Amino acid sequence: MQDKEFQVGRASIQFPEGPRIIGRASVVGKKEGEGPLGDCFDVIEPDPMVGCENWEDAESALQKETADLAIEHAGLVRSEVRYLFSGDLLGQLIATSFGTVDLEIPVFGLYGACSTAGEALCLGAMIVEAGYADYIMAMASSHFASAEKQFRFPLEYGNQRPLSASWTVTGCGAFLLGRQGGHVRISGITPGKIVDMGLKDSMNMGACMAPAACDTICRNFEDFDRRPEDYDKIITGDLGVVGQKILLDFMKSNGYDISDRHMDCGIEIFDRDSQDTHAGGSGCGCSAAVLAGYILPKLESREWRRVLFIPTGALLSSTSFNEGKSVPGIAHGVVLERC
Amino acid sequence: MQDKEFQVGRASIQFPEGPRIIGRASVVGKKEGEGPLGDCFDVIEPDPMVGCENWEDAESALQKETADLAIEHAGLVRSEVRYLFSGDLLGQLIATSFGTVDLEIPVFGLYGACSTAGEALCLGAMIVEAGYADYIMAMASSHFASAEKQFRFPLEYGNQRPLSASWTVTGCGAFLLGRQGGHVRISGITPGKIVDMGLKDSMNMGACMAPAACDTICRNFEDFDRRPEDYDKIITGDLGVVGQKILLDFMKSNGYDISDRHMDCGIEIFDRDSQDTHAGGSGCGCSAAVLAGYILPKLESREWRRVLFIPTGALLSSTSFNEGKSVPGIAHGVVLERC
């Protein structure tokens, strides 16, 4: 029986040692490679089908490629990874199921919409820190075309998109966690609860997710007794420009000004003017690839010392949308620190 | 930094103390209530819509009702439950998202097809045993009509079903885990890997899942250095009569005869002759409700002392099926012991 040194506040966990991120990899599509962060990613896949016959298989191929690259970067082999925490946006997680079967690693399939990278890191960090595994892998992917097919319209239909809509990132990020090595540790987590403000616009998911992001960030501040200035950056997943504005307003109404240190992976990954991506990038692969390719290197180089990373998810399906349901949000917080 | 006392073998975890199951609840539909285990469940909902306007909302209502009942049975209130591990079969887990939002508990959304109850118990047990939470809830649900709509045909179509097909259980099971109290503990887990034997028949999911069940059971025996006779019962989730036969054959070819102690929740929950359910019951709610209503009471009454519980999942979506993909399986093992 252990004591409760891990638990802080209502929902957060602090890690005395902090599992280390000992390997990371990002693989993205052509459009992401042409964006402002293009140079940051490990691999840019020129073929949107990734050599496969359909979009879902293409996304599976992204997962497999990213997983193997991350394992290689960590200096491990597949059989040394005890558990895999992975997910995607597709119904019944088929990108994950078919993408990870060859790894032969026991897998926990996760669904947190675009917050899945955060969910995977939260769970993986707890499992490694407690000694349940020497090494685990956390991974999340999305693919523009498989997501459009899943949630919106066939690409061939050529529908118009409102300016509040986001552009699903084709990409995958994978992370190896271990107890030694690496330069960045997960020092704490704040798993999020579902927040439903009754918003129903699936073409404005930033607005749907902003309240959940606000809830998790405020919870993190409260649980750890911190202020915005305790973080070099506070980085959400894919709120986009519409959601960012709402988040900053919500945070101010809660007494916190994070406008000087807020960053959103969805805003960073595309050039809004030249890439026609409207509110910004989205999808589980967005925050996962940006974490692997851009955020972690900034921590490794000591440009940033401590970052709050909050992937954000909009919980809807085409069924729930067609039934007129709202789009609840969820956001999981991960505190990353330079060792 | 902790030692590795938790890790046994390639994939399993042993718990020195073992988190206790301190509350449990099961809510099922009318057909399940008329089956052989009808008297075991806490609540039998006579209305398949559970007072809602659509099947998905009905499943959400099942989750909410079961969660509150399990929390009540544990003598807790919602705010004492630190984390929730829950999932269902629907695309983007909408039964879970809309069913658990009112609980206001930080949630980890899980997808393991019909193995989700096992996935939730594995993760929840690790989190409680390590001291990350005093109390967590693990939950899984399914609904016959929402699943038929998701995976097969509209009910109104009245399609014929082959004898190898299973009948998705309308039901939900929820479990509160804590470190003290209760009469049953989780003494170990064996998280499973995805096993793909190339089978493609979505109307014979028992056959698709049996190899994964075999893999997890053999892994459990090997990791814990046990034989079948070390368990009073070895209980799979929803293999049905076709999958059971395959599992027993596979186990024999691996040198284990488990035929005298194997039980399958899907076979038990319906009367095959009178209820026209063909191969048996299935769905995440099947193993979850049978665990809550039937298996745990047998342990509490000391009729059984140690049980290996292995919910089984078939990983497919209507998209992957239509693309001609195989149906891989996954199975997560949970060792339950009378304290």
- pLDDT per residue as tens digits for the range A117-134: 999 999 999 999 999 999
Closest Cα of chain A to B327: distance in Å?
9
For B195, which DSSP code? B
Closest Cα of chain A to B42: distance in Å?
27
Q: Which residues have C-beta within 8 Å of that of residue B188, sequence separation ≥ 6?
A: B8, B12, B13, B14, B15, B18, B220, B224, B334, B335
And the tokens for B164?
């190898």
Query: What mean pLDDT is predicted for residues B138-145?
Result: 97
**E-strand spans in chain A?**
7-8, 12-14, 20-29, 43-45, 83-87, 107-109, 135-142, 167-168, 171-178, 184-190, 233-236, 262-264, 281-282, 306-310, 312-314, 329-331, 333-338
Residue A127 and residue A241 share a domain: no
Q: Do B111 and A119 touch (CB under 8 A)?
A: no
B80 has pLDDT over 90 = yes
Q: Do B11 and A191 touch (CB under 8 A)?
A: no
- Per the CB < 8 A criterion, the answer to whether A136 and A177 are in contact is yes
Beta bridge partners of A334: A189, A309
The conformational region for residue A177 under phi > 0 = left, psi -120 to 50 = alpha, else beta, is beta
Task: List per-block mean pLDDT (blocks of 10 residues) for chain A, which spans 339 residues.
Answer: 77 95 98 98 97 97 98 98 98 96 98 98 98 98 95 86 92 98 97 95 92 98 98 97 97 98 98 93 97 98 98 95 95 97
Residue A313 and residue A173 share a domain: no
- Residue that is last in its domain, among A160, A178, A196: A178
Closest by CA to B137, choosing from B92, B73, B192, B189, is B73
- How far apart, in whole angstroms, are the C-alpha atoms of residue A168 and residue A148? 8
- How far apart, in whole angstroms, are the C-alpha atoms of residue B286 and residue B93? 17
Residue A282 and residue A166 share a domain: no
Q: Do B7 and A104 touch (CB under 8 A)?
A: no
Residue B250 and residue B161 share a domain: no
- Give the domain range for residue B76: 7-178
Beta bridge partners of A8: A12
- How far apart, in whole angstroms, are the C-alpha atoms of residue A54 and residue A52? 6
Residue B2 lies in a domain: no
pLDDT for A3: 54
**Nearest by CB: A101 against B179, B320, B328:** B328
Residue A101's SS3 state is: helix
- Residue that is last in its domain, among B158, B178, B198: B178
pLDDT for B1: 41
**How many CA atoms lie less than 13 Å away from B20 in the CB half-sphere?**
15
- Per the CB < 8 A criterion, the answer to whether B232 and B306 are in contact is yes
Residue B1 lies in a domain: no
From chain B, the residues in CB contact with A92 under 8 A are 89, 91, 111, 113, 315-317, 320
Residue A6 lies in a domain: no
Residue A327 and residue A193 share a domain: yes
Query: What mean pLDDT is predicted for residues B300-312?
Result: 98
Residue B118 and residue B35 share a domain: yes
Question: Which residue of chain A comes nearest to B124, CA vs CA?
Answer: A123
And the tokens for B265?
């929740």
Residue A1 lies in a domain: no
Residue A159 and residue A285 share a domain: no
Residue A309 and residue A218 share a domain: yes
Residue A242 and residue A105 share a domain: no
- How far apart, in whole angstroms, are the C-alpha atoms of residue B269 and residue B279? 11
ipTM score assigned to the predicted complex: 0.97
Question: Which residue of chain A comes nearest to B13, CA vs CA?
Answer: A132
Residue B267 and residue B143 share a domain: no
Structural domain count, chain B: 2
Residue B157 lies in a domain: yes
- Express each pLDDT in A5-43 by its tens digit: 899 999 999 999 889 999 999 999 999 999 999 999 999
Alpha-helical regions (H) of B130-239: 144-151, 205-224
Q: Do A56 and B323 touch (CB under 8 A)?
A: yes
Q: Do A316 and B94 touch (CB under 8 A)?
A: yes
Residue A64 and residue A170 share a domain: yes
Query: What mean pLDDT is predicted for residues B90-97?
Result: 96
Burial (0-12, 13-18, 19+ Cβ within 10 Å), A36: middle
B198 has pLDDT over 80 = yes
B210 has pLDDT over 80 = yes
> Testing the interface with B: which of A92, A119, A128 to mutate, by most B Cβ within 10 A?
A92
- How far apart, in whole angstroms, are the C-alpha atoms of residue A325 and residue B188? 40
Residue A241's SS3 state is: helix
List the CATH number of the domain containing B168: 3.40.47.40
